[in-house]
Amino acid sequence: MQTAEKTALITGITGQDGSYLAELLLAKGYTVHGVVRRTSNLLRSRIEHLRQNSDSSRIVLHYSDLSDGTTLRRIFARARPAEIYHLAGQSHVGLSFQIPESTCEEVAMATLRLLEIARDQTQPVRCYHASSSEIFGSGSAMPQTEETPLRPVSPYGCAKAFATQMSRIYRQSYGLFVCNGILYNHESPRRGENFVTRKIARSAARIARGLDNELVLGNLAGRRDWGHAQDYVEAMWLMLQHDVPDDYVVATGETHSVQAFVEAAFAVVELPWQKFVKRSAAFDRPADPALLVGSAEKIRRTLGWKPRRSFSDLVREMVQAELDSLSNPRPPGGG
């Protein structure tokens, strides 16, 4: 579906979600501006196919850092975006226990900085903030909804809770059009290699090809509400097309254990997972959230969104992508 030409600004455009969102927006006729760090110049494989296949004037990258308010303001002045999608920031929950200060700076304060810049724009601007199910932490309700109290149990979750609440304050106090997308776990072949789902898919493929002989994981009983990133970026876009800004849980409403992901991955390569998977407490988090499973009833009812891809489809796609990359080595993320 095409839309009237618009300009969008994406922070975190080189990441999993940013690359899929850029694809979606370009297909809808947008001009897309992306904020990238200098250090990400070697990590653009997820969007390189877009830069090669699109009119260079329709995808524009800007160097900046989320801590550099002056440069961010200059990017806003140049791009004059109608829509802002704030996806950037340290996004690994386990890592946030090791680097809590930088996590809070990148996730919490960077969001506040962008809200201030958006508030100062003379032209109307619609903002999407990438919140997370981790804000619920030890959730008091199951499934969680937009009204579930915030009880984070990790530095990452706490930083996201701050950013989520601040977004609500700017919406209520200043009339800023800002939506919180409370996204549950969403994966794809473009997921970073330090995430457990990518680690499992990659190991299953490598073991099948005789390149590795074991996979070491932490808690196999941990359960997650896993969806597909391509489905979830469509939800982001829908939020900013609605007349009224609001918060939405984006989830499948189903949970699967890490072990179930392992079983499904090794089933793709027709190997017995028990023979290759080892357990190590070294991968356990200091604190794990309660069972996080989301109710996407509100976004289904209001915006007509629902996930299109199943859990088994997701796992098969991720493992197949790893097998393909071993057969035809190339930077991950294209296509």
Catalytic residues: 132, 134, 156
CA quadruple 153, 155, 159, 161: dihedral, nearest 10: 0
Residue 316 token pair: 């098969």
- List CB contacts of 165: < 8 A, sequence separation 6 or more: 150
- Quick check: 196 and 258 in contact, CB under 8 A? yes
Quote the CA–CA distance of 323 and 335 in Å, as a whole number. Answer: 15
Q: Are 203 and 229 in contact (CB under 8 A)?
A: no
Measured CA to CA, the distance from residue 215 to residue 45 in angstroms comes to 26
CA distance 316 to 332: 16
Q: Helices 69-79 and 110-119: crossing angle, nearest 10°?
A: 40
CB 180 within 8 A of CB 131: yes
Distance, C-alpha 149 to centroid of its chain: 22
- Contacts for 331 with CB less than 8 Å, ≥ 6 apart: 45, 48
Judged on CB neighbours under 10 Å (0-12, 13-18, 19+), 211 is: exposed
Helix (H, G, I), strand (E, B) or coil at 278: strand
